[in-house]
């Protein structure tokens, strides 16, 4: 048999062995991909705490005294010894009553709506650079100290899940219910003579402010 004939026969054999592409069949439901998540696997990753009702708050408790020690060691370098912030690092406490002002301050006691949300954030993201290194008791303690700084928790009382659920942060009702009210501006499609008066420049500092990085690559 010549080489080309052998090749031809091979092709022939292959073609009858190939399955027909079953395009008429719907994909399987479910596909069966993935593996069941075990209780242990879920427990290790299931770290979220829900703000309004504290669902997911772990067992444990903390004290303001322990919180102060932890805070000074692990948080104060960035957030200041009184949680007042440092440079561009955010303040954590203070500024109540500023939300209508020109300089609204968004701290735990001025802006955050839910105590359990504070626990959630510290547990998942803090301290900056060593997240998820604090035990539940340590997180409770730091939250207790912060709330105490904000005059929202007594210095001598332990803080646990029940206590955290029961705290009403001052700005709890500060968020507008009912979702997104936008669009909140009327469409203007005017094409000619659209202004009553010629445009007036109200802000032209950008070219002189000097806050914009240069276009140099810096090398």
Q: Which segment (4-12, 59-67, 147-155, 207-215) binds other proteins by CB under 8 A? A: 207-215
41 torsion bin: left (phi>0), alpha (psi -120 to 50), beta (else) = alpha
* 217 in contact with other proteins (CB under 8 A): yes
Contact 67, 142 (CB under 8 A): yes
**Which is it for the CA torsion 99, 161, 90, 212, positive or negative?**
negative
Q: Which one, 2 or 45, has the nearer CB to other proteins?
A: 45
Q: Which segment (13-21, 41-49, 137-145, 149-157) binds other proteins by CB under 8 A? A: 41-49
Q: Which one, 3 or 39, has the nearer CB to other proteins?
A: 39
* 189 in contact with other proteins (CB under 8 A): yes
Least Å distance between CB 118 and other proteins?
A: 8
Q: Per CB under 8 A, which of residues 81..120 are in contact with other proteins?
A: 87-90, 99-100, 102, 104, 106, 111-114, 117, 120
Query: Residue 50's CB: how many other CB atoms inside 10 A?
Result: 13
171-to-71, 87, 95, 147 alpha-carbon distances in Å: 24, 25, 12, 14
Contact 115, 50 (CB under 8 A): no
Q: What are phi and psi of 122, to 5 degrees?
A: -65, -40
Q: Which one, 12 or 128, has the nearer CB to other proteins?
A: 128
Q: What are phi and psi of 61, to 5 degrees?
A: -155, 160
Least Å distance between CB 211 and other proteins?
A: 6
* 137 in contact with other proteins (CB under 8 A): no
Least Å distance between CB 187 and other proteins?
A: 4
């Amino acid at each position: 048999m010549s080489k080309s004939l052998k090749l031809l026969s091979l092709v022939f054999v292959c073609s009858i062995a190939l399955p027909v592409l079953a395009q008429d069949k719907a994909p399987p439901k479910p596909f069966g991909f993935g593996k069941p998540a075990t209780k242990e696997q879920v427990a290790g990753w299931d770290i979220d705490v829900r703000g309004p009702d504290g669902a997911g708050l772990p067992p444990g408790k903390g004290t303001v005294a322990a919180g102060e020690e932890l805070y000074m060691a692990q948080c104060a370098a960035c957030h200041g010894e009184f949680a007042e912030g440092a440079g561009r690092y955010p303040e954590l406490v203070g500024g109540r009553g500023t939300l209508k002002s020109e300089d609204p301050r968004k701290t735990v006691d001025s802006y955050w709506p839910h105590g359990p949300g504070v626990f959630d954030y510290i547990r998942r993201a803090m301290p900056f650079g060593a997240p998820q290194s604090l035990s539940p008791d340590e997180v409770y303690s730091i939250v207790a100290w912060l709330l105490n700084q904000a005059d929202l928790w007594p210095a001598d009382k332990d803080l646990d899940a029940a206590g955290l659920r029961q705290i009403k942060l001052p700005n709890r009702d500060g968020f507008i219910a009912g979702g997104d009210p936008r669009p909140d501006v009327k469409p203007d499609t005017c094409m000619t003579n659209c202004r009553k008066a010629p445009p007036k420049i109200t802000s032209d500092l950008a070219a002189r402010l000097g806050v914009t990085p240069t276009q140099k690559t810096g090398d």
